[in-house]
Amino acid sequence: MNFRLAGAAIALGLAAAPVIAQSPEPAYQIKTEKVEKDGRIEDRIHVARRPDARGNSTLYVTVQFTITHADGRPVPDVPADEIVVKENDKVVKDLEIHTPAALEPLTTILAIDISGSMAEHRKMEKSKQAAEVFLGRLDNKSESGLILFDHQLRVKDKPSKDRERMRRSIDAAKPGGGTAYLDATADAVRMLRQAKGRKAVLLLTDGVDINSQSTMDEVIQQARAAEVPVYTIGVGEPGKNIPVTTVMVLDCSGSMGEPADDSDEVSKMQALHQAASRFVSIMRPGSKMTLLPFSDETEPPKPFSADKDALQRDIRKLEAGGETALFDATSDAIDTLIAAGPEGKRAIVVLTDGKDNRSRRRVKEVIEKAQKAEIPLHMLGLGRPGELDQTVMKRMGVETHGSYHHARNKKTLYEIFEKLSIDLHDDGIDEAALKRLAEETGGKYYPAQDIDRLQLIYEGLAQELQTTYTVTFPSLRQDYDGTSRDIGISVWRKGVQVSDVLREGYNVPGVVVPEMDPVVYLGLLGLIAGLLALPSTLRRVALRQPSNAGLPGGENG
């Protein structure tokens, strides 16, 4: 009986042992932020050299992570002095910690594209609604600024807590013009340079940057120096980067020396200089164009060029004089494109302010040639309706799958050239550029092919920016030696660990130079020297042997 009781006690003890040994569930869980890079999901750990406070080149490590309760609710208020970071099991003391908005202010700049292409597919409307969602999710302590841009910066509101001012600016925005998102980002970074706490730029665009003075490398360098991550949102389909080759057929007849209507103070030729130059400035990288001026006759075209400055100089040299050989000039433009045989999209843009009165060719012949070559004709009529043959020009545009536009004055001519260039050259977002801008500044890239996702993206960004912790520290091992280093991050409160441990690592490129005991090193050198001397030693031993050994008739023969 006593044996049975003892056995039962032992069994109960063994059953209870796991319960007794089990440690309490940690109050917090730590997870690294993730980012997509080259099709892979990676942790947001950045390693880079930059000057320290003394100007010395120092290897810094940055880790971004979130702290949550066991049920997944974010914890934004863990004090910086409770976060412990270890590198290779050694505590890192020189830490720069950015906690979320509960302890540190968050300052953001919304940089929103309002170019002409944003008018399509309700992109402008959806962008305004998404921006409203973001502003509504911001903590009261947070400040935000606004940049609205096309090919210029149209609105620049400095960061403040005045949400209503931003809302009014966003509501009043109207799409038009090209795209200069690098200039907008550079300005946003400058606005955030003196901001305290966490800061970020949220850039939304639907096109390719074809107007910025700032380069990608310059903007990335400025954002890194100011420690401003750029979060990029690409609205619409990724571009295919198809080059566009255009012949611009421009009427230089005598009537172009007159104003288009009574409201214009400049001649039609002067208006053309500005409008055609604007068309050139929006050309997508890789696209080419040539000019084909005409009056009585067509001038010989120059080789196709992507040099925007040279093309604009040639446009500004055009002068008015002579009659109008519209059909001959358009036919010559078709021949020019056919002879060049370029890859990608092809188009002919024709501007005239009058009716054809000098051509040998007829309109039907020109249309059939364009149809056979599958080249669209985009016809622009400038001036008073009675001075134009709009019926014929509409027919040329429609039957070649091109277009017809009537410009009454300088202003409408500029707008038509601008929109036409955008339509021809803007075939979608430059996804590679937006990814690079985000990844190399510590931000994220968000594709929004479905514009209905914009609100969810902005809502997620508002939460992330207000719940993400960022730790930056100088690596305890400053050498580029090809080694891997381990990182451990945890939360400690009153000497007790209250979280799990985030365990991550990173690799530093370089050549591995192994450490070695000097005695072993000298021993290996001696072994190598002995091996090198072995052949000559063997030869000397062989020479000392009797020369007649093993020959017939020798001593033993």
Interval 64-80: pLDDT, tens: 898 988 888 888 889 99
Residue with token string 């200039």: 183
What 3 state SS string does 400-419 have? Answer: CCCEEEEECCHHHHHHHHHH
Between 20-34, 298-312, 379-393, 409-423, the lowest mean confidence (pLDDT) is in 20-34
In angstroms, how far is CA 402 from the centroid of its own chain? Answer: 32
Domain 21-239+428-530 listed as CATH 3.40.50.410: yes
- Name the nearest CA neighbour of 203 among 136, 134, 110: 110
Between the CA of residue 205 and those of 120, 328, 427, 428, what are the distances in Å? 13, 41, 13, 10
Residue 33 CA to residue 429 CA, distance in Å, equals 25
Determine whether 514 is exposed, middle or buried from the number of CB atoms within 10 Å of its CB (0-12, 13-18, 19+): exposed
Helix (H) or strand (E) run with residue 15 in it: helix 2-21
Give the confidence band of 548 by pLDDT, cuts at 50, 70, 90: very low
Contact present, 522 and 530 (Cβ < 8 Å): no
CA atoms within 13 A on the CB side of 261: 15
pLDDT at 51: 82
Provide the mean pLDDT of the chain: 86
H helix runs in 154-282, sequence order: 163-172, 181-192, 216-225, 268-281
Domain with CATH 3.40.50.410 in the chain: 21-239+428-530, 244-421
Amino acid type, 449: Q
Angstrom distance (rounded) from CA 327 to CA 538: 96
Whole-angstrom CA distances from 330 to 101, 295, 335, 376 are 62, 12, 9, 11
Collapsing DSSP to helix, strand or coil, 289 comes out as strand
User: Is it the case that residue 357 has pLDDT exceeding 80?
Assistant: yes
Compute the distance between CA of residue 525 and CA of residue 520 in angstroms, rounded to an integer: 9
Q: From CA 66, how far away is CA 60, in angstroms rounded?
A: 20
Which of 30-44, 410-424, 460-474 shows the lowest mean pLDDT across its residues? 30-44
> How far, in Å, CA of 187 to CA of 223, rounded?
10
Q: Considering the domain 244-421, what is its CATH architecture?
A: 3-Layer(aba) Sandwich (3.40)
Residue 426 pLDDT: 77
Q: pLDDT of 133-172, one tens digit each? A: 999 999 888 999 999 999 899 999 999 999 999 999 999 9
- E strand or H helix at 17: helix 2-21
What is the reported pLDDT for 158?
A: 95
At 511 the pLDDT is: 46
- The mean-pLDDT minimum among 85-89, 312-316, 482-486, 532-536 falls in 532-536
Closest CA to 197 of 83, 101, 331, 61: 101
Cβ-contact 433, 209 below 8 angstroms: yes
The pLDDT > 90 percentage for the chain reads 61
- What confidence category does residue 45 fall into, taking pLDDT thresholds of 50, 70 and 90? confident
